[in-house]
Amino acid sequence: MLIVTTDELPGYEIRLVYGYVYGLTVRNAATGSSFGVNPSAMIDTFSRARADATGRMMVSAQRYGANAIVGMRYEGSPVGNTPWSEICAYGTAVWVEPVTEWARRQYERKAQAGEVPPLPEPRDA
């Protein structure tokens, strides 16, 4: 899956727009001891939360048949008056095709690694 925070993917043309996709997770921010919060543990907790939310967003995009997500963002918010936080990864699921030689080589490498689906064979006009 190609994921970018921009609305376009340089070297690629957006052929189909599937729509909004997101991944959601919650984490308990009450990490640490009674003497204070352990910053390293909190960073690890929220880094894993972002990775989980991103993975769920990717699954949602794959269900559409997308090979990319554009306009990707994260948003976090507390859940009421609790130590829990909601982390959301969201963007727009699209199907892109490479239009430059560099993008074709990049896509081919990612397809061989299983990171993106193979492109369909060109049809005769």
Nearest to 107 by CA among 61, 64, 67, 55: 67
Span 87-116, average pLDDT: 96
How much is the pTM? 0.86
Please give the torsion angle defined by the CA atoms of residues 52, 55, 57 and 62, in that order, rounded to the nearest 10 degrees. Answer: -160
More confident residue, 40 or 115: 115
Backbone torsions φ then ψ of 49, nearest 5 degrees = -65, -45
Mean pLDDT across the stretch 78-87?
Answer: 85
Query: Region 20-28: what's the mean pLDDT?
Result: 92
The model's confidence at residue 121, banded by pLDDT at 50, 70 and 90, is confident
Average pLDDT, the chain: 89
Structural domains in the chain plus CATH codes: 2-112 (3.30.110.70)
Q: Looking at residues 79-102, what average pLDDT do you find?
A: 93
What's the pLDDT at 34? 44
